[in-house]
Structure 1
Amino acid sequence: MAAPKSRTSHTRTRQRKAQWLGSLKSPGTTVCSSCGEVTQMHRACPECGHYRGRQAIEKKAEGEEKKRS
């Protein structure tokens, strides 16, 4: 196995780490065409349940919660 010829300096290490952290991107976001909320791309809207112009997830209205008996 190869061994390093000389020690890697703190500056070199930090530069490498900063470049790697800078390359990470946040997930793509888009605006829901139905309700206008910001959502992740290629996923149903968590607020209204729409995806690509149709209802993908049945969301209950705020007043219609399950009553425990």
Structure 2
Amino acid sequence: MAVLATGVHRWAGAGGVLILVSDALIATGEFVPSVTVPQSGFWVMATCLGAVLLIALGVLRRDTSGA
């Protein structure tokens, strides 16, 4: 997602990076039990929602710019 989103718009690319961060937080919580992220659920949802917003805005921006 992070790589493909960069071809749409830079906002979508930033959203792709946030998806990568969100997935990394989930994987850290599941596969590295010695590491605990404070309020991990909040951070996972915040990065995921931010990513969806940025991807949607990037797609809309590309559609309106005629690229």
TM (normalized to structure 2)?
0.32
Q: Name which structure has the greater RCO, CA cutoff 8 Å, separation 6+.
A: 2
TM (normalized to structure 1)?
0.31
Structure with the larger strand share: 1
Structure with the larger helix share: 2
Larger Rg: 1
